[in-house]
């Protein structure tokens, strides 16, 4: 049953689909996908081409826009848009600490979670496309991890694509997770240095907070154990537009005076727990490194191992000297499964995923080299989350792919820019720019 309703300027329709859990076993277990169809109110009865939006992550449901926000306004000028909650996210069949025990123990849960990477997501898209478009190819807009999915789409089912538009999401075609994080930590350090250059008062504030946490390790109201390492991971904010300002305003409200001395302010704790908790997107933590698995090499908690190669990120060593504390960024670590109550029951399953040695390749170089689908990609010059060097190497490997390299935006440029990024990339796919 489909339900349609209105917001300012748009007509929305809830769509639900049933797909195989394992596409290699189409007669086996099924899961449900949810998507929201969006069309401009004045075009609701027109026969329009489709644009499929694949959200970043992994593990996040599609954006919940109100009306014609961000890039959606540009898309609705010519497309009917499908905002897909990728498997396991949003209103699709969920995968979290409450539902995963239905699979059985940690080993069964880990096996189940192997089916939540780009390969399964793209096969979901091809399964539902005939029902949505009547069989016509659609344009895909892939943001961040959604771009990884788009490149897999080009590798395995290009016949389903009219065009592909990728923002901050051109993956390396063959890098191991270790290579990804060795490239990431220097970028993160640059972002932290830029933040401190903008807000020099935050150098001492960050050190004071980290020193307090090394001594106390408080429990936040939701049960999250706030360690110095967890505090450092707030650096993920620095990869988005306005993130440096948000981090600054957070740090300046950290402490209040109490009869027992300085304490972390309730308001600070509330915002920190909201930023650090994976309750709303546990797949981000569970399969984050698995999205880089492509061969017999385990990911083996790559970010944690590689971070040890960059001792300047060690909070205890930093505080023993006089260097600024370095924040970290988009990386997942085993201690997160000890700190976060939304992840604690899943620690053993995460360990088993990290040890897997049977990952399938995600990208087909030969097919990409023969690509005939119009493709354009925004590469953000100093993207904290996705290495620009890796992205440009991949761009050269995809026949006909056109890039727009810019330092005007951070990783979330397609959202923060309004219509500009999407408009430019669509023009590139049509040789209009």
Considering 233, 411, 412, 417, which one is annotated as catalytic? 411
Considering 92, 144, 155, 244, which one is annotated as catalytic? 144
For 289-328, the pLDDT digits (tens) are 999 999 999 999 999 999 999 999 999 999 999 999 999 9
Give the pLDDT mean for 341-354.
Answer: 98
Give the pLDDT mean for 413-422.
Answer: 95
CA–CA separation, 343 and 329 (whole Å): 18
Extract the tokens encoding 227.
Answer: 């360690």
DSSP bridge partners of 402: 376
Question: What is the predicted pLDDT for the residue at 3?
Answer: 85
CA–CA separation, 425 and 17 (whole Å): 30
Share of the chain above pLDDT 90, in %: 98
The answer, yes or no, to whether residue 128 has pLDDT greater than 70, is yes
DSSP bridge partners of 36: 14, 83
pLDDT classification of 217: cutoffs 50, 70, 90: confident
DSSP bridge partners of 39: 11
Question: What is the predicted pLDDT for the residue at 52?
Answer: 98
Bridging pattern class, strands 80-85 and 30-40: antiparallel
pLDDT classification of 1: cutoffs 50, 70, 90: low
HSE-up (13 A, CA, CB side) for residue 356: 26
Question: What is the predicted pLDDT for the residue at 330?
Answer: 87
- Please report, for the chain, the start and end positions of each structural domain, with discontinuous segments joined by +: 3-174+363-429, 177-354
Question: What is the predicted pLDDT for the residue at 2?
Answer: 77
Bridging pattern class, strands 261-264 and 255-258: antiparallel
Extract the tokens encoding 304.
Answer: 């944690």
Give the pLDDT mean for 159-183.
Answer: 97
Extract the tokens encoding 68.
Answer: 């014609």
CATH number of 3-174+363-429: 3.40.50.1820
For 234-284, the pLDDT digits (tens) are 999 999 999 999 999 999 999 999 998 899 999 999 999 999 999 999 999
The answer, yes or no, to whether residue 433 has pLDDT greater than 90, is no
Farthest CA pair distance, the chain: 70
CB atoms within 10 A of CB 54: 28
CA–CA separation, 300 and 290 (whole Å): 10
Question: What is the predicted pLDDT for the residue at 99?
Answer: 98
CB atoms within 10 A of CB 250: 19
CA–CA separation, 93 and 169 (whole Å): 25
Mean confidence (pLDDT) of the chain: 97
> Does residue 411 carry a catalytic annotation?
yes
Print the SS3 string covering the chain.
CCEEEEECCEEEEEEEEEEECCCCCCCCCEEEEEEEEEEEHHHCCCCCCEEEEECCCCCCCCCCCCCCCCCHHHHCCCCEEEEEECCECCCCCECCCCCHHHHCCHHHHHHHHCCCCHHHHHHHHHHHHHHHHCCCCEEEEEECHHHHHHHHHHHHCHHHEEEEEEECCCCCCCCCHHHHHHHHHHHHHHHHHHHHHHCCHHHHHHHHHHHHHHHHCCECCCCCECCHHHHHHHHHHHHCCCHHHHHHHHHCCCEEEECCEEEECHHHHHHHHHHHCCCCCHHHHHHCHHHHCCCCCCCCCHHHHHHCCCHHHCHHHHHHCCCCCCCCCCCCCCCHHHHCCCCHHHHHHHHHHHCCCCCCCCCCHHHHHCCCCCEEEEEECCCCCCCHHHHHHHHHHCCCCEEEEECCCCCCHHHHCCCHHHHHHHHHHCCCC
């Amino acid at each position: 049953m489909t339900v349609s309703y209105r917001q300012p300027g748009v007509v929305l329709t809830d769509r639900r689909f049933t797909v195989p859990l394992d596409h290699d076993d189409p007669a086996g277990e099924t899961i449900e996908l949810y998507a929201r169809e969006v069309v401009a109110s004045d075009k609701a009865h027109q026969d329009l081409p489709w644009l499929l939006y694949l959200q970043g992550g992994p593990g996040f449901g599609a954006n919940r826009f109100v009306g014609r926000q961000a890039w959606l306004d540009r898309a609705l000028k010519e497309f009917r848009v499908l905002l897909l909650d990728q498997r396991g996210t949003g209103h699709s069949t969920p995968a979290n600490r409450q539902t995963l025990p239905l699979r059985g123990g940690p080993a069964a849960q880990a096996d189940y979670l192997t089916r939540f990477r780009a390969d399964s997501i793209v096969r979901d898209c091809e399964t539902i496309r005939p029902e949505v478009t009547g069989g016509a190819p659609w344009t895909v807009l892939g943001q961040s991890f959604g771009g990884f999915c788009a490149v897999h789409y080009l590798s395995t089912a290009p016949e389903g694509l009219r065009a592909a538009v990728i923002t901050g999401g051109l993956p390396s075609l063959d890098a191991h997770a270790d290579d990804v994080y060795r490239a990431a930590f220097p970028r993160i350090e640059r972002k932290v240095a830029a933040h401190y250059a903008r807000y020099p008062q935050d150098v001492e504030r960050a050190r004071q907070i980290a020193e307090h946490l090394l001594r106390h390790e408080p429990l936040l109201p939701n049960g999250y154990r706030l360690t110095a390492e967890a505090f450092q991971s707030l650096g993920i904010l620095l990869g988005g537009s306005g993130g440096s300002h948000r981090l600054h305003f957070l740090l300046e409200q950290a402490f209040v005076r109490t009869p027992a001395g300085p304490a972390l302010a309730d308001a600070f704790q509330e915002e920190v727990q909201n930023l650090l908790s994976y309750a709303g997107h546990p797949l981000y933590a569970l399969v984050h490194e698995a999205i880089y698995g492509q061969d017999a090499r385990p990911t083996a908690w790559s970010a944690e191992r590689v971070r040890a190669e960059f001792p300047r990120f060690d909070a205890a060593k930093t505080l023993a000297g006089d260097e600024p504390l370095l924040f970290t960024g988009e990386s997942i670590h085993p201690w997160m499964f000890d700190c976060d109550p939304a992840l604690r029951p899943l620690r053993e399953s995460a360990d088993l995923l990290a040890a897997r040695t049977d990952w399938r390749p995600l990208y087909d170089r030969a097919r990409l080299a023969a690509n005939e689908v119009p493709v354009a990609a925004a590469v953000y010059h100093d993207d904290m989350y996705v290495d620009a060097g890796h992205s440009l190497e991949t761009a050269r490997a995809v026949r006909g792919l056109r890039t727009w390299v810019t330092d005007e935006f951070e990783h979330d440029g397609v959202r923060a820019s309004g219509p500009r990024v999407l408009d430019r990339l669509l023009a590139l796919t049509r040789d209009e720019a």
